[in-house]
């Protein structure tokens, strides 16, 4: 199984801040990396697929980058509604595995 490791596990940032979350894969996964946002008590929402493609309807302040083993999710200007937990997921080989999550809090 491909292990996915996110950092940090949690962060607290102010509205307007630039936020960066990192995801590292245990082996090369090309660009088969996806990002989700989950709010408490809700299902996850797809934000980014194929490492850098923005899902339809997702605000442009979200962006993804990386390939190989190292990936980044960036929120350019944090908004109050961006609180929640963010997960990366590899779609390179089964079983499709997720990172442990990064909890984002608004200061």
Partner 1 sequence: EVHLLESGGGLVQPGGSLRLSCAASGFTFNNYAMSWVRQAPGEGLEWVSAIGGSGAGTYYADSVKGRFTISRDNSKNTLYLQMNSLRAEDTAVYYCAKDPDYSNYFDYWGQGTLVTVSS
**Which of 55, 65, 67, 74: binder of partner 1 (CB under 8 A)?**
55
For residues 44-73, one letter each, b for 16 or more C-beta atoms within 10 angstroms of the residue's C-beta and e for the rest, the string is beebbbebbeeeeebeeebbbebeebebbb
Among 31, 64, 71, 89, binds partner 1 (CB under 8 A): 89
Closer to partner 1 by CB, 17 or 45: give it: 45
List residues bridging with 48 in a β-sheet. Answer: 35, 54
Q: Where are the beta strands (DSSP E) in the chain?
A: 4-7, 10-13, 19-25, 33-38, 45-49, 53-54, 62-67, 70-75, 84-90, 102-106
Residue with the two structure tokens 């929402």: 45
Question: Which of 37, 64, 71, 87 contacts partner 1 by CB under 8 A?
Answer: 87
**Does residue number 46 form part of the binding site for partner 1 (CB under 8 A)?**
yes
49 in contact with partner 1 (CB under 8 A): yes
x-or-dash pattern for partner 1, window 3-22, by CB under 8 A? --------------------
Residues that bind partner 1 (CB under 8 A): 1, 32, 34, 36, 38, 42-46, 49-50, 55, 87, 89, 91, 94-101
């Amino acid at each position: 199984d491909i292990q996915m490791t996110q950092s940090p596990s949690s962060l607290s940032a102010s509205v307007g801040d630039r936020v960066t979350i990192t995801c590292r894969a245990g082996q090369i996964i090309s660009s088969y990396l996806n990002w989700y946002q989950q709010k408490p008590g809700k299902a996850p929402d797809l934000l980014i697929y194929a490492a850098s493609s923005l899902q339809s309807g997702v605000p442009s302040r979200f962006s993804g980058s990386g390939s190989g083993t190292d990936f980044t999710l960036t929120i350019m200007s944090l908004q109050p509604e961006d609180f929640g937990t963010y997960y990366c997921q590899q779609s390179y080989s089964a079983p499709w595995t997720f990172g442990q999550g990064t909890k984002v809090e608004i200061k």
